[in-house]
Amino acid sequence: MRKLTSEQELMLATVRQFVDKEVMPVASAMEHRNEYPHALANEMQRMGLFGLNVPEDYGGADVDYTTFAMIFEELSRGWLGLAGIIGTHSVLCDVLIRYGTEEQKRKFLPGLAAGERRGGICLSEPNAGTDLQAISTVATRKGGDYLINGSKMWVTNGRFGNTFLLLARMEPRVEPPHKGMGAFVIEKGAPGLTVSRDIDKLGYKSVETCELHFQDFPVPAENLIGGVEGEGFKQVMTGLEAERINVAARGLGIARAAFDEAIRYAQRRTTFGKPIAEHQTIQIKLADMATRIEASRLLIYSAAEKKDRGERCDLEAGMAKLFATETAAEVAFEAMRILGGNGYSKDFPVERYYRDAPLVVIGGGTNELQRLIIARNLLKKYKVES
């Protein structure tokens, strides 16, 4: 990995200090209360974290994807829910940067970069998650607006956010479905959008995950990303490539936090007259955990550096997301086993890591899907000519 600049080092050090001093002391208590971290989100706004991937011309930090991944790793080390607040926000930014018209960029990106606009993505539906071509939400042109009808699920920032990326089928319907979709930037305010409920989750608490309903919700035609119908599916899928890097980094952050708790506890807890870290069984667990964490880090940086070069990295991002998030789940469970009964207690943060880890395995495209993406790309890369 290339050496970070002094500016990148300073940004990472600032985030690390924020996590250590302000996030970790309060994360578990707030998470157990399912309390939204308004003050911490506002501090992230002051730090410029909502504009991480936004170009400087629009008020953002325009960091490279390696630094981007490192920042998500640090935030998730402190609290996965906190990282989630800017995770889907950054996907909206990425799609706008790549495909938005200049007018759309000027209208939305400065507010998103400043954190005045809080973003999210409206993609999944009750009957369409991994298979986005199965969505049924429809956008119908009427004069200068599109009217949106349908429902969206799993919308992070759905209650406290105000600006979203929405994928919808266009009328009349086109086959195959991916050729008949549009991606829109939608804003709260007009009638016809209802935030119906916060989904009660196993983990990933405090950050709200909502169900949204649309009934003749008007979206100005100028908010169709790129101004072109039929391109929405491709635009969204490109944005999800970047999301997989940030979800992989979130998995790495969880794994690091769980490992840190486990190795610290193993040196303090004594059984049979010596610290449990001196028992071979515990040492083997720690060695495997640390090795998987380091391998995850290198996979993430490899994908990030390829994206920084402007190259397709769906294979590398898929590998990083798969391995790093499975590592999060495995390391969190092994940490719980090392702590024994204390690992199962809310007095220690390991139980929180254990509940949070499944989210990154499922979110950002399930790991079953990642395996299919990886396999398809491998077959292209190593195609045997007949």
Catalytically active residues, by annotation: 243
Angstrom distance (rounded) from CA 95 to CA 97: 5
**Separation of CA 122 from chain center:** 14
- The residue written with tokens 């405090």 in the block is 206
Give the helix/strand (H/E) hosting 163.
strand 163-170
Looking only at the bridges linking them, the beta strands covering 274-275 and 270-271 are antiparallel
Angstrom distance (rounded) from CA 184 to CA 142: 15
CB atoms within 10 A of CB 231: 18
DSSP 235: H
* Half-sphere exposure in the Cβ direction for 171 (13 Å, CA): 11
Angstrom distance (rounded) from CA 167 to CA 137: 8
Residue 270 φ/ψ, nearest 5 degrees: -110, 135
Q: Are 80 and 30 in contact (CB under 8 A)?
A: no
Angstrom distance (rounded) from CA 307 to CA 242: 8
Q: Of 66, 83, 65, which Cα lies nearest the Cα of 74?
A: 83
